Structure 1
């Protein structure tokens, strides 16, 4: 039991279970299998984007542009499909556009060393503006039936988007935990000066993190467009940046960098999905969803700050 409690994600997992029990008591419908599937399937796109955001925050960075990247990518895929392109090729090109957006952010942040909040704030407007411009402000609709598989299809009775999400989560958990690249991310976020002295290429690592983030947003955009069946460039993914950042922080990530896991982020996404679903089933006003999310962000940041201060005090005590 003590070993389980020492797991980094233990507090958020326990809190998620308690919230689930609470909603089950309020409404027995919450615990039904169909509702559990609905919670998982509704949050696949957010979970995929949150993987990339986890790596960005591990570096001690921030990315405000992911919602705009999703809008641009989804709109581009819609345009490709409207011109008769095959769903698979259109989707691959969409992921490629996501990668290009990540390269754009990565170049200015990692190579030119411009603060990430400035770059991603600017690119948030740039990418959103491009999405609205190429769409002419109109909805992207009437996608071909073959495209629906990416967001609504099933493999052996299991949702295809859910399969993709689980594979990506497992893959990036392995990347962060067992590869040199993953260790470099933690090293930079934990102590940039020490990482530089150890020979870690900070610009290259940062650049690749933003490229991976763009790729993941591209994949999420394809699933989003397919699942919803339409895309409005001016509103698609408008709150996505804050939702996935909230999930990372709630899942144990630190705004100071160097702390956090993709598993914790996945639980954070699950918790937010449970809260949204539970409030709807309990017939609570949807306006309380945003208030609850904001409260969780404040709580997570407060906990992270206290942990950061405690760790610094402990290190200072050890040095003395």
Structure 2
């Protein structure tokens, strides 16, 4: 029990299990395999984008533009397909656009040293405006059948987008925990001044984190467009930024940086997916979904703040 309590993700795991059990008691259909798979597949794009947001928040940063990047990328892919481009090439170019958007953010944040909240607030409007502009405000629809595989296909009976998400989750969890780049992210988020004195390049690390985030949004956008079968530039990914930030915070990430894991974030996404699905199954008004998510965000921030204050007091006590 002591080992379990020391696991960083223990509280969110426990809370997720409690929520799952409560909904299962209310509705016996909740834990059926078909419904569980539906929850996972409905949140594939959120899982993928949340990986990048985890790294951004670990740096002590924020990215308000991911929803707009998804809209721009998905809209661009739709335009490429409507002009007869092969699905694989359209998808690769879409991911490249996501990387370019991440590099754009990273340049102004890391190189020009402009606060991330200002840069990403601006690019949130820029990228969304570009998406609406290139689409003319019309829906992107009638995607070719081969393209549908990326969001709806199966390999050996397993959902292809779910396979992609699992590979990305494992890869970036490994990157954060076992590579020098991952240790640099934690170091910068934990103490920028100390990281700089240790010879860590803040500029390069920050820039690459936003590039990775853009790439992940690009992949999520391709899956999103393929799965939904249509894209509306003005609304696609509208609430995505706040959902993935909420997942990171609910999963144990700290708004002050340096604390958090990919595993915790994934459980945070899963918890929000469980709540949304459960409320729908028990026929609660969808308006309560947003209210519940907002409450969870506030709760997570309060817990994070209390943990941060407690840790600082411990450090001060050790120094004394």
**What band does the TM-score fall into relative to the shorter chain?**
over 0.9
Q: What's 2:218 paired with?
A: 218
Mapping of 1:286-297 within 5 angstroms? 286-297=286-297
Mapping of 1:139-288 within 5 angstroms? 139-288=139-288
The answer to which of 226-235 and 1-10 deviates more is: 1-10
Q: What's 2:65 paired with?
A: 65
Write the distance in 2 (CA, Å) between the matches of 1:246 and 1:280. Answer: 20
Mapping of 1:114-153 within 5 angstroms? 114-153=114-153
Q: What's 2:74 paired with?
A: 74
Q: CA deviation at 1:248?
A: 0.2
Write the distance in 1 (CA, Å) between the matches of 2:275 and 2:180. Answer: 36
Write the distance in 2 (CA, Å) between the matches of 1:121 and 1:309. Answer: 28
5+ residue gaps, structure 2: none
Write the distance in 1 (CA, Å) between the matches of 2:10 and 2:222. Answer: 33
Q: What's 1:4 paired with?
A: 4
TM-score by length of 2: 1.00
Write the distance in 1 (CA, Å) between the matches of 2:11 and 2:156. Answer: 34
TM-score by length of 1: 1.00
- The structure 1 segments of at least 4 consecutive aligned residues displaced by more than 3 Å after TM superposition are none
SS of equivalent residue, structure 1 residue 137: coil
SS of equivalent residue, structure 1 residue 68: helix
Pairing 1:52–2:52 present: yes
Write the distance in 2 (CA, Å) between the matches of 1:190 and 1:275. Answer: 32
Q: CA deviation at 1:2?
A: 1.5
5+ residue gaps, structure 1: none
SS of equivalent residue, structure 1 residue 101: helix
SS of equivalent residue, structure 2 residue 235: coil
Q: CA deviation at 1:230?
A: 0.1
Q: CA deviation at 1:267?
A: 0.2
Write the distance in 2 (CA, Å) between the matches of 1:19 and 1:35. Answer: 15
User: 1:14-46 deviations in whole A, cap 9, x for unaligned?
Assistant: 100000000001111101110000001100000
Q: What's 1:42 paired with?
A: 42
SS of equivalent residue, structure 1 residue 29: coil
User: 1:163-203 deviations in whole A, cap 9, x for unaligned?
Assistant: 10010000000000000000000000000000000000000
User: 1:231-269 deviations in whole A, cap 9, x for unaligned?
Assistant: 000000000000000000000000000000000000000
User: 1:253-300 deviations in whole A, cap 9, x for unaligned?
Assistant: 000000000000000000000000000000000000000000000000
Write the distance in 1 (CA, Å) between the matches of 2:212 and 2:191. Answer: 22
SS of equivalent residue, structure 1 residue 235: coil
Count of residue pairs the alignment pairs up: 320
SS of equivalent residue, structure 1 residue 146: helix
SS of equivalent residue, structure 2 residue 7: coil
SS of equivalent residue, structure 1 residue 28: coil
Write the distance in 2 (CA, Å) between the matches of 1:282 and 1:159. Answer: 27
Write the distance in 1 (CA, Å) between the matches of 2:160 and 2:14. Answer: 28
Write the distance in 2 (CA, Å) between the matches of 1:99 and 1:126. Answer: 16
SS of equivalent residue, structure 1 residue 258: coil
What is the root-mean-square deviation in Å for CA atoms of aligned residues? 0.4
Mapping of 1:88-127 within 5 angstroms? 88-127=88-127
Write the distance in 1 (CA, Å) between the matches of 2:183 and 2:121. Answer: 28
SS of equivalent residue, structure 1 residue 130: helix
User: 1:132-159 deviations in whole A, cap 9, x for unaligned?
Assistant: 0000000000000000000000011111
Q: CA deviation at 1:117?
A: 0.2
